[in-house]
Chain A
Amino acid sequence: MKKNILKRGLLFLLGTCVILGFSGCAGTGDTADSSAAPSSAASAKLSGNISLTGSTSMEKMVNALAEGFMEANTGVKVNAEFVGSSAGIEALVAGNCDIGNASRELKDSEKSSGAVENIMAIDGIAMVVNKANTVTDLTKDQLIGIYTGTIKNWSEVGGNDTAIVVVGREAGSGTRGAFEEILGIEDKCSYANELDSTGAAMAKVASTEGAIAYVSLDILDDTVTAVTLDGVEATPENIKAGNYFLSRPFVMATKGEISAQSELVQAFFDYVESAEGQKIIEDVGLILPN
């Protein structure tokens, strides 16, 4: 009898845990807001708000930098919004934010209206194929042809008679966004596989003879072959020199030179240029411009 009561008690506890778990899940999905509000008991002399607006592709980098900066300067609050490159620069020019983020070079019209291009990082994408594939180089047009479905066999680009298996990432992936944007084939790609991680894409290419995939530069290894594009190898050096076309700059634009900005914004750029900031940029898989 006593044993039974114990058992029931345990069951009850379990039940309670389950319910608590559910109500935990039932809370809304926005956990991102919780990084705000640092403790006010700070020794930092800097205080105030910095606002950044712009590219969705830069979200990972900007959030990491903002977190690091707020940790180092507890009196500062960094507000970052991700609305797209053009909207970001527009907001900057209109004076609605301190820094406008763009994942592309600034247009002349944007520069002439006062935006200054500060390239803080470079995003590079590598094209990988199976080790058995004899194709080692692709041109931009060939790449576009393969991903839009007009080129279907490796023999059409100088390889064996093997059908091409087009591997890509899921909608919403930053790498996919960058790839399609740089090649100008947004929403025109016909994927045979849409995998939800870089690792899965690499594994698929490694195990499938006719496969090709785009992956971020930092995870290349010898299970696959990285092809050269227009004869240029995907190395940080080539990307910095601007010879490798599958890359794009991450611009943190300011209205006027950095030296003309407020003390707070200058401190933010100092932080980004510091060893700590540079490490954060490299940790999110990007290349440093200098």
Chain B
Amino acid sequence: MMNTRKNTSIIRNSQTKALVETIAQIIFTVCAVVAVLAVFSITLYMFLQGTPAFAQVGIREILFHSVWAPTAQTPSYGILYIILTSIIGTAAAVLIGVPIGVLTAVFLAEVAPRKLAAFVRPAIDLLAGIPSVIYGLLGIMILNPLMYRLEQIIFADSETHQFTGGANLISAVLVLVIMILPTVINISQSSLQAVQKDLKDASYGLGASQIQTIFRVQIPAAKSGIISAVVLGVGRAIGEAMAISLVSGSSVNFPLPFNSVRFLTTAIVSEMGYAADTHRMVLFSIGLVLFVFIMLINTLLTKILKGAPQDA
């Protein structure tokens, strides 16, 4: 059957076949060039726009100073606290989000009754499709008032704490956790389901229980997929701006749980509107820092996690 169809197709298009092949070849090449060109031009542009401020203000003054006062008489462009906030915020979100996500994936792929899984799966897909600003709004309406109440109880007698009305690092981290969940769950789940059934059967055959099979056989076998999930989750968390700009308070402070904090992303978003001259250039530099960060994290995480010995 396949053969006959192929044959007719060749006969029909014999004249145009060569042309089609050539055109297809060209289209593929152009598409590939477009993607590569995009990556290169973005990188080039980020460096062109981001480096002048480093030259003008000084790398140390930007990266290792903690005072952010871009419009002051003697401006100060230190983004140390902003960098720390991004690192700590993302790390916390991943530390909380990834275990929850992976376990949910295990539940959906292995443990859950079919009917329940059929209900939860679309719900998670829906979660992935919700625009980030919606998460931010929910954060303002639900998380912030909750945090405010907590803040009032914890710091009732504090002399030094600056009250933020619930806009703090914890709120931002919680929003990020919810936002990375769908990515982590979906990718880990598909990689768990892609594990060969033989492995599972063999494990059961050796007398292992279901839980032993999941943690000793299936998760190790699905490792590379789960690692991709973590990397994508980190990427989403560190790159998110809209949702956390609404719940984090956006003041530049050391990232303590109840402090109002500013992330690399929100630092750019919140001041781009009116920034001028050096201030504007430094915002581009923050963009460059963020860009380099994401590149580093992606390559490092993939290398470290995937580089570990495969025989588990």
Contacts and interface: CB of A to CB of B under 8 A. Distances in A.
B85 interface: no
Contact of A196 (B73, B155, B167, B270): B270
A26 B30 contact: no
A15 B30 contact: yes
Interface in B67-95: 68-73
Nearest to B32: A15
A257 interface: no
B144 interface: yes
B209 interface: no
A189 B28 CA distance: 57
Contacts of A5: 20, 23-24
A223 interface: no
A166 B260 CA distance: 11
Contacts of B20: 1, 5
Interface string A1-41: 10001001101100110110011001001000000000000
B164 interface: yes
B97 interface: no
B165 A15 contact: no
A210 interface: yes
B271 A192 contact: no
B245 A196 contact: yes
A54 to B, nearest CB: 15
A171 B71 contact: yes
Contacts of A172: 70-71, 271, 273-276, 279
A22 B40 CA distance: 11
A104 interface: no
Contact of B152 (A8, A163, A171, A204): A163
Interface string B21-51: 0011001101100110110011001000000
Contact of B41 (A26, A152, A174, A208): A26
A171 B73 contact: no
Given A15-B31, A166-B162, A207-B140, A194 B250 contact: yes
Highest count of chain A CB atoms <10 Å: which of B35, B71, B269, B279: B71
A270 interface: no
Given A9-B27, A193-B250, A165 B71 contact: no
B145 interface: yes
B196 interface: no
B73 A18 contact: no
Given A19-B38, A164-B163, A172-B273, A192 B27 contact: no
A53 to B, nearest CB: 15
Interface of B: 9, 13, 20, 23-24, 27-28, 30-31, 34-35, 37-38, 41-42, 45, 68-73, 140-141, 144-145, 148, 152, 155, 162-167, 245-246, 249-252, 260, 262, 269-271, 273-276, 279-280
Q: List the 10 closest pairs (A to B, CB-CB), nearest first.
A: A172-B274, A208-B165, A163-B163, A165-B165, A187-B72, A196-B270, A15-B34, A192-B164, A171-B71, A194-B250
19 contacts: A1-B20, A11-B27, A18-B34, A19-B37, A23-B41, A29-B280, A165-B163, A170-B250, A170-B273, A172-B71, A187-B69, A193-B249, A194-B251, A194-B262, A194-B270, A196-B250, A196-B271, A207-B140, A210-B165
